[in-house]
Structure 1
Amino acid sequence: MDNRSAISELVLLGFPGIGEKFHSPVSIALFLVYLTSLFSNGVVIALITCNRHLYQPMYVLIINLAISDLLFDTITLPKIVAKYWFNDGSISYAGCLFQVHSAHFLGSFDSYILLLMAVDRYVAICKPLRYTSIINNQRTILICCFFWLFTSIIGITIAVLDSSERLCGQNISSCFCTNSAVLSLACNDVTPVKHITFCLAMFVLLLPLFFILFSYGVIIRVIITQTQSVSRKRAYYTCATQLSVICLYFIPRIFVSVANQVNLILNEDVNVLILCLYTFVPHMANPIIYCLRTKEIRRTFKNLIKRWMLIKIPRIPAVNVNTISDHL
């Protein structure tokens, strides 16, 4: 309560070092990022929800990933766009802590959903005959619910740790409130809090990343030994695109966590740019790479477009030839 009474409002600076002439391009870019994420993830959620034949473990994971990414972007991006468009960068102290909780909660959830997707691929390739007995919809939904709860506790823990620190500044050098951004304003030594959050970050990042890389190693080995050259090229391309997004998600996060732990000082604008790249780019790419490129989703999407076109274009009534001849 003392903390809230001391500072009741914080200010998001976005990219603090850029000039005003770059504010419009940056805000438009962030707005387009949000629209792209909103559309692509919304399409994925609608397609899977409205088609019962897509109620399969992999698509259950994909829809959870889409919901998480959509929530993350909705909680963070509109506020920073408002800062550039309407000069409204202020955010309440409680709102900032909510963003801290949401960022670490939903970011952690994405890590574990990517882990579950790796487990799904691993079982499908290494134990195909036992796939349906090991992985089914009910089990997948229960595990997803557990990770929603577990990662929410992680987010709450980090937000509570941040709220225990008294702040001596108001300017958040970021596009949204994060643990490191809030702790940089603390009056006291925050080393113990940094140690705790670093351990949580490594638990959230390293364990999923290890198994994801292991699963891709198995997939590549199977591709080399069991597929033909044409299928091999297609499989290599799919693995390369998925791995590139996964590396963009995990590696910068690990780098930033280590940099904060060792007090490595980065340029503020570079730090915000890295944050935006590893946060928002995967959110736009995930629906395309993991869902919209699959045959079932493409087929469902085409069928929906055909139905929509049939509804929009009125049918011309058939002409009865006998009726015409009778009138002649």
Structure 2
Amino acid sequence: MANHTGFILLGFPGIREKFYTPVSIALFMFYLISLFSNGAVIALILCNRRLYQPMYLVILNLAISDLLFDTITLPKIVARYWSNDGSISFAGCIFQVFSAHFLGAFDSYIFLLMAIDRYVAICKPLRYPSIVTNRRMILLCCCFWLFTAVIGLVIALLDSSIQFCDKNRIPSCYCTNTAVLSLACEDVTVLKRLIFGIAMFVLLLPFAFILFSYGVIIRVIISQTQTDSRRRAFYTCATHLCVIGLYFVPRIFVYVANQVNLFLNEDINVLILCFYTFVPHMANPIIYCLRTKEIRRTLKNLIERRILMRKQNMSVMNTISGLSLQ
């Protein structure tokens, strides 16, 4: 039984050993960028009371989720290529399954909250302060944390209840439901369909509303007469939709492909997995947070304060040195 001996993460199954070091460096850089960018967003929002606004509170939750996801998944696959250690215990693998579906589903609903925020801000600007409040956003985020945790727990419990054969090699960067079910000894068709239904509920419902809300937003933008504001709004919507599309479309494609038994090369499958998982986690802080005026102003003030403090310290040190020489 593989339940007791654990599993082995293969990462990219077809990659040659001479490429292990470049792959490990690339994955490690992904983690460092995610750690720095999402960590910076979390620190900036928590340390600046002026950023205690509904949109930034939602972004804070997104940054926490992405940072947790990458911390749970990336170090293990980096170790697989860095030190040739791809082993993971059965409990560790099931925990990754839980985390992947829990945090992945949470991101879906956070994107939904962002779309609602933008919809109300642009389409109903006069009612925005009364509709979108800090308390309401915090309550919704807490509900989504709880709801998606239940989804991840259900999927993890279903996966842990199946019987495994002597196969324990997982062709993926981290344990996913699809990868774990592929090692089952029993017929898991019903289980696959059940989890596919859950995944489509988690993905399609938010994605449909996001597309609808941005469609309405673009229609409102087109009706604006000011060319500059229209151009900026279009650019913002386009960047948001690119990140959202990068998150949702490949996920839906992979789930549907696995459901209809569409054959995908294992390395291509893993590449798509990394692409729609880790790239958005690096892009989210830049697209949704670091490009905003308030965040840039906060960063500018922080840097200027640091420079001023350094100059003052240098001035004090020079004064002390001058007095000691006298």
Q: Tell me how far apart the structure 2 counterparts of residues 188 and 208 of structure 1 sit (CA, whole Å).
A: 33
1:80-136 per-position Cα deviation (integer Å, ceiling 9, x unaligned): 000111111000000000000000000000000000111111111222111111110
* Cα deviation, residue 303, structure 1: 0.6
- Pair 1:264-2:262 in alignment: yes
2:175 maps to 177
For residues 46-57 of structure 1, the aligned pairs below 5 Å read 46-57=43-54
1:186 maps to 184
SS where residue 174 of structure 1 aligns? coil
For residues 1-328 of structure 1, the aligned pairs below 5 Å read 4=3, 7-168=4-165, 169-313=167-311, 314=313, 316=315
Contact (CA 8 Å) 1:14, 1:80: kept in 2 or not? yes
Distance 1:273 1:3, change over 3 A: closer
SS where residue 223 of structure 2 aligns? helix
Distance 1:70 1:227, change over 3 A: farther
* Cα deviation, residue 8, structure 1: 2.7
SS where residue 203 of structure 1 aligns? helix
Q: Tell me how far apart the structure 2 counterparts of residues 173 and 227 of structure 1 sit (CA, whole Å).
A: 53
Q: Tell me how far apart the structure 2 counterparts of residues 316 and 79 of structure 1 sit (CA, whole Å).
A: 47
Amino acid at match of 1:240: A
Q: Tell me how far apart the structure 2 counterparts of residues 14 and 227 of structure 1 sit (CA, whole Å).
A: 52
Amino acid at match of 1:201: A
* Cα deviation, residue 138, structure 1: 0.7
SS where residue 263 of structure 2 aligns? coil
SS where residue 166 of structure 1 aligns? coil
Contact (CA 8 Å) 1:3, 1:165: kept in 2 or not? no
Q: Tell me how far apart the structure 2 counterparts of residues 277 and 303 of structure 1 sit (CA, whole Å).
A: 35
Q: Please, what is the CA RMSD of the aligned residues? A: 1.2
Q: Tell me how far apart the structure 2 counterparts of residues 65 and 304 of structure 1 sit (CA, whole Å).
A: 23
Q: Structure 1 unaligned runs (5+)?
A: 318-328
* Cα deviation, residue 233, structure 1: 1.9
Q: Tell me how far apart the structure 1 counterparts of residues 157 and 258 of structure 2 sit (CA, whole Å).
A: 19
* Cα deviation, residue 230, structure 1: 2.0
Contact (CA 8 Å) 1:248, 1:278: kept in 2 or not? yes
Which TM-score applies when normalising by structure 1?
0.94
Distance 1:191 1:23, change over 3 A: same
4+ runs deviating over 6 angstroms: none
Q: Tell me how far apart the structure 2 counterparts of residues 123 and 234 of structure 1 sit (CA, whole Å).
A: 18
Contact (CA 8 Å) 1:9, 1:92: kept in 2 or not? yes
Between the two proteins, what is the percent identity of the paired residues?
Answer: 74
Q: Tell me how far apart the structure 2 counterparts of residues 187 and 154 of structure 1 sit (CA, whole Å).
A: 24
Paired positions, count: 314
SS where residue 49 of structure 1 aligns? helix
Amino acid at match of 2:220: V
Amino acid at match of 2:67: L
* Cα deviation, residue 315, structure 1: 5.3
SS where residue 226 of structure 1 aligns? coil
Q: Tell me how far apart the structure 1 counterparts of residues 94 and 164 of structure 2 sit (CA, whole Å).
A: 13
Contact (CA 8 Å) 2:243, 2:280: kept in 1 or not? yes
Q: Tell me how far apart the structure 1 counterparts of residues 240 and 140 of structure 2 sit (CA, whole Å).
A: 23
1:325 maps to none
SS where residue 164 of structure 2 aligns? coil
Q: Tell me how far apart the structure 2 counterparts of residues 265 and 158 of structure 1 sit (CA, whole Å).
A: 24
Contact (CA 8 Å) 1:36, 1:284: kept in 2 or not? yes
Q: Tell me how far apart the structure 2 counterparts of residues 159 and 250 of structure 1 sit (CA, whole Å).
A: 21
SS where residue 88 of structure 2 aligns? strand
SS where residue 85 of structure 2 aligns? coil
* Cα deviation, residue 240, structure 1: 1.2
1:143-168 per-position Cα deviation (integer Å, ceiling 9, x unaligned): 10010000000000000110111111
* Cα deviation, residue 227, structure 1: 4.3
